[in-house]
Amino acid sequence: MNRLFKFLNYKTNNTVKIGILLGFTGPIESITPDMASGAELAFKEVSKSNIFLGGKKIEAVRADSTCTDSDTAVKAAKKLIEEDKVIAIVGADCSGVTGAVASQVTIPNNIVLISPSSTSPGLSTLQDNKLFFRTAPSDARGGEVLADITAEKNVQRIVITYVNNDYGVGLADVYREELKKKGIEVFVSLSHQDNLSEDYYQTISSTLNSYNADALCIIGYIDNGGLQIFKNCLDNKYFKKYFLSDGMIGDSLFLNGIDKQEANNKTFGSLPGNTNKGSDMFIKLANNNNLRVDGPYVAESYDAAALLTLAIQAGNGKNISKHILEVANKPGIKIYPGELKKGLKLLSQGKKINYVGASNVELDNNGNARGSFIENVIKNGKWVNLKQR
């Protein structure tokens, strides 16, 4: 009787569960709520279509990756799969925990994991059985872009500090090598840890200043050590120019007491993004749904969720990973933000689609986004986009 009841209950269940594994606590906790809401916006759009798998709805299940604690992230991912019964996961966010979750949880369980923000070049060679994807481009490209921006600001001598994890080490390595190719002298590339005392960050800041460089690059996180170093250096007027990685960019930077006047017109950065048709459509869609889009990786989160649902539709709920590249790339009818119902309908008719999305989605054979970047500057106390790269 119990087995029969469970079977009937399963057959009448009108919900598909998908996990959202992001750092709701930790060094990027100020930016992840908008990322999660971006993914959930896509899920809501799909649920309202009444076309997804014949009219099923999506239930998003949130879990905390912490961004830095791999053990906690792995436990959270296991719970999503074993207890919550999700069929796929959007996440994780920071590269180290993403690698741990993929290798220890999602790959062994044959579950698709699609990250909107993990950028370490090391993830490109992950033995993933075609189960890991990302809508954010690798730091192999991000480091080149940041170096180009640095060179164009006439910097000759620079110091670098990076958070000592997969993200920080990988991006710093690429950035440093690209600077050297451009003839820019790197006096020191100094690692820093998160979650330490104010005295520790003051010492790091003073050490960086002692090299008498023109500029400082901080590769870190907006809610932790990177922020503290940036704030100390601004307060003491240590450098003429600052260059910040994507993990340091967001409006919450200004809520944490940095000297806006000192940062103005001398603080530059870059993060994945574009200014094409899809971006404009996403901004309009987000504004209509009270979603903030000025932080990093919100568009990529929407796209990660959209790709998952479209791939699920393409395979009628089976072999999700096989269909990710099919819906993401040419050939096919282009699908933009706000057009997921159109995409679902075309797929249900056996037609091919090319999901362009908000971030100009195009994936290589390893599931990595090719991506483009936006150069930003702090001007009049806020981040301003300069141009697409």
In tens, the pLDDT along 287-298 reads 999 999 988 999
* Residue 371: pLDDT band with limits 50, 70, 90: confident
| Phi/psi at 283 (5° precision) | -60, -45
Residue 378 has pLDDT above 90, yes or no: yes
In words, the CATH class of domain 2-138+276-350 is: alpha beta
Q: Which residues touch 188 (CB under 8 Å, ≥6 apart)?
A: 159, 160, 207, 208, 211
Residues of the chain with CATH 3.40.50.2300: 2-138+276-350, 140-273+372-388
Q: Is the peptide bond before 92 cis (omega within 30 degrees of 0)?
A: yes
Question: What is the C-alpha to C-alpha distance for residues 142 and 157, in angstroms, rounded to an integer?
Answer: 20
* Residue 275: pLDDT band with limits 50, 70, 90: confident
Q: Which residues touch 128 (CB under 8 Å, ≥6 apart)?
A: 102, 107, 367
| DSSP-derived secondary structure for 53-85 | GGT-EEEEEEEE--SS-HHHHHHHHHHHHHTS-
> What is the share, in percent, of the chain residues with pLDDT greater than 90?
90
* Mean pLDDT value across the chain: 94
In words, the CATH class of domain 140-273+372-388 is: alpha beta
Which has the closest alpha carbon to 185: 210, 205, 165, 215? 215
Cα angle, residue 270 at apex, residues 247 and 102 outer, rounded to 5°: 45
Average pLDDT over residues 13-39: 96
Residue 171 neighbours by CB distance under 10 Å: 29
Phi-psi region of 251 (alpha: psi -120 to 50; beta: other; left: phi over 0): alpha
Which tops the pLDDT comparison, 339 or 7? 339
pLDDT at 74: 98
